[in-house]
Amino acid sequence: MPLRIIIQQPGQKFFNKLDMKKMNIREIDEKYYLPTFKRFPVTLVRGSNAKVWDDNGKEYIDALAGIAVNCLGHNNPAVVDALKNQAEKLIHVSNFFSNEPQALLAKKLAEISGLDRVFFGNSGAEAVEGAIKVARKYAHKNNRGGEVISFEGCFHGRTLATIAMGKEEQQKGFGPMPEGFHKAEFNNIDSVKKLITDKIAAIIVEPIQGEGGINNAEKSFLNELREVCDQNNIVLIFDEIQCGIARTGYMFAKDFYGVQPDILTSAKALGGGVPISAFICKEKIAGAIEFGDHGTTFGGNPLAASAALATLNEIEQKNIVDETRKKGEWFVNELRKKFSGNSSFVEIRGMGLMIGVVFKFETKELVAKMLEMGVIANATAGNVLRIVPPLTISYEELEKIIDVIDKALRLLNK
């Protein structure tokens, strides 16, 4: 009888032990992961379009989509195929070299945004940091200071510069904060004008605030911001990390408002679930940058860029922008019909499938109850139920979300 030699791979013994003991994934997570997220007691293991399943086989409608990330749903065939095909060819190269997916994606983003130059990163905060950096370089070349105006209720990320622009509660324990940031009142142009000096380099605004509670900018406000920036040679930055890439029923929310920024940031849905971000700017802003002024190791790598290209192509080919606008209008109307008579209901905010249902109470318990009933949503800004599902969600699934909200409210009232 021939001798059998079994070669055990490094770490295999450890994983065999895990299998034997059936160690709980959540126990591993709690032991080794930095305790910065208050996670739900659910481990998700697979997904398909607008549905996901946990490790016990329970099915959920995902009305959160990884916080507005999975715009084409989970495991979209076009994105999966693009990843498979690219992974077999080239996953990563240094940005000392050009690569085809990155170049084609830069061209695509410039064309659909109406802007000129693109820089890639990996996360939304990275895109915002890059936008601020480029805006400051442009300002200094034009004899202006490097200070930045943001807005109350904003959220631009979790890095030091981005929390310096955000809420004070996110800054506690992380001082000293970077200097040179000022805050104005959202939708109040007079509060902006009071802060304008030759020290201001840029104004950054979310056309629709996400973490702040799904707050829509007024058209007149964004137009007035554009006017103020033009008059003072200040860079206008639109943070479209959450509201961009068809989420609002427009490719970018700026298209609804009819206002063109000098720089636009994009992330979240850009890669259809794969981490990639970008800031896109006008040629005059890009002209301030010199070789070596900015850089990235992973930004725009072939794998992520392929996923983003597939995502954008799928959005165009499947007419996702128009479909999202129609679904959003129908969904908001149905929500109003169902809850306008509810004493705890306040209003509905948002656009497309970026929806905030405002109640008179904090919505964390409502979100937890909805999770028990098979719908994943999110509480933001205290009393806002945030619903940002895959744009490919069906009308039947949207109906189910409304039904679950209704049943969860009734149970909580009891």
pLDDT in tens, 64-92: 999 999 999 999 999 999 999 999 999 99
Q: Crossing angle for the helix pair 100-113 and 302-317, nearest 10 degrees?
A: 40
Check if 194 is active-site.
Answer: no
Beta bridge partners, 366, equal none
pTM score:
0.93
Percent helix, strand, coil in the chain, to 5, is: 40, 20, 40
Whole-angstrom Cα distance, residue 131 to residue 119? 9
CA angle at 73 for the pair 71 and 79, rounded to the nearest 5°:
85
Give every CB contact of residue 1 below 8 A, 6+ residues apart in sequence.
none
The single residue of 155, 221, 238, 339 carrying the catalytic annotation is 155
Check if 55 is active-site.
Answer: no
How far is C-alpha 310 from the geometric centre of its chain's CA atoms?
A: 18
Whole-angstrom Cα distance, residue 80 to residue 272? 10
Give every CB contact of residue 227 below 8 A, 6+ residues apart in sequence.
none
Residue type, 35: P
Whole-angstrom Cα distance, residue 260 to residue 247? 18
What is the pLDDT at residue 220? 98
What is the pLDDT at residue 414? 79
Check if 239 is active-site.
Answer: yes
CB 349 within 8 A of CB 215: yes
What is the pLDDT at residue 30? 92
How far is C-alpha 84 from the geometric centre of its chain's CA atoms?
A: 24
The single residue of 62, 239, 255, 262 carrying the catalytic annotation is 239
Residue type, 298: F
Q: Which two tokens stand for residue 122?
A: 């990996």
Residues of the chain with pLDDT under 50: 1-22
Q: Crossing angle for the helix pair 395-413 and 364-372, nearest 10 degrees?
A: 120
Pair type for strands 147-151 and 208-209: unpaired
Residue type, 29: D
How far is C-alpha 257 from the geometric centre of its chain's CA atoms?
A: 19
CA angle at 280 for the pair 285 and 182, rounded to the nearest 5°:
70
Whole-angstrom Cα distance, residue 405 to residue 271? 30
Q: Distance between terminal CA atoms of the chain?
A: 72
Specify the 3-state DSSP secondary structure of 351. Answer: strand
Q: Which two tokens stand for residue 372?
A: 């028990």
Nearest to 308 by CA among 115, 122, 164: 122
Beta bridge partners, 236, equal 203
Give every CB contact of residue 329 below 8 A, 6+ residues apart in sequence.
249
Whole-angstrom Cα distance, residue 38 to residue 184? 31
Give the helix/strand (H/E) hosting 201. Answer: strand 200-205
User: Measured between alpha carbons, how far is residue 5 from residues 2, 8, 13, 16, 280 in Å?
Assistant: 10, 10, 16, 18, 56
What is the pLDDT at residue 23? 61
